[in-house]
């Protein structure tokens, strides 16, 4: 099993920066992909960014050039650096991990979410 714990959310002014973190713990053979999603009130959860083992990344068009996803494999932690924040970035940000368990099964794990609020 894998547990994900997010931290770093908060309130920032438009144009500001924030970094959210996702720490994974538990028994897993490998974390294949780590991603960040977000969900604003009344809207569907959307993929913001993801990073695979080889380091390749992808981003939603709305955050390209402003957000950067990274991972520290030694710490089993992913980070989402958010710069140039806009009010429309306000959402609950969720960490996601696609993992291969020691028993050979796969698991998609979700964190509890961390609130990011950007004031105008």
DSSP string, the chain: -EEEEEE--EEEETT--EEEEEEEEE--SEEEEEEEEEE-TTS--EEEEEEETT--EEE-TTTTTTEEEEEEGGGTEEEEEE-S--GGG-EEEEEEEEEE-TTS-EEEEE---EEEEEE-
Q: Answer whether residue 28 shows pLDDT above 80.
A: no
First-to-last C-alpha distance (Å) of the chain? 40
The per-residue pLDDT for range 38-72, each reduced to its tens digit, is 999 999 999 999 999 888 999 999 999 999 999 99
How does pLDDT run across 81-101, given as a tens digit for each residue?
999 999 999 999 999 999 988
pLDDT at 118 over 80: yes
Q: What is the pLDDT of residue 77?
A: 94
């Amino acid at each position: 099993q894998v547990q994900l714990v997010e931290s770093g959310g908060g309130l920032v002014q438009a144009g500001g920066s924030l970094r959210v973190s996702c720490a994974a713990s538990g028994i897993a053979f490998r974390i294949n992909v780590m991603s960040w999603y977000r969900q604003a009130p009344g809207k569907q959860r959307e993929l913001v960014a993801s990073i695979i083992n080889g380091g390749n990344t992808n981003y939603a068009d709305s955050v390209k050039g402003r957000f950067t996803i990274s991972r520290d494999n030694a710490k089993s932690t992913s980070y989402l650096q958010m710069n140039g924040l806009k009010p429309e970035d306000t959402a609950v940000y969720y960490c996601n991990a696609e993992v291969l368990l020691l028993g050979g099964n796969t698991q998609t794990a979700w964190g509890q979410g961390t609130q990011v609020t950007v004031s105008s």
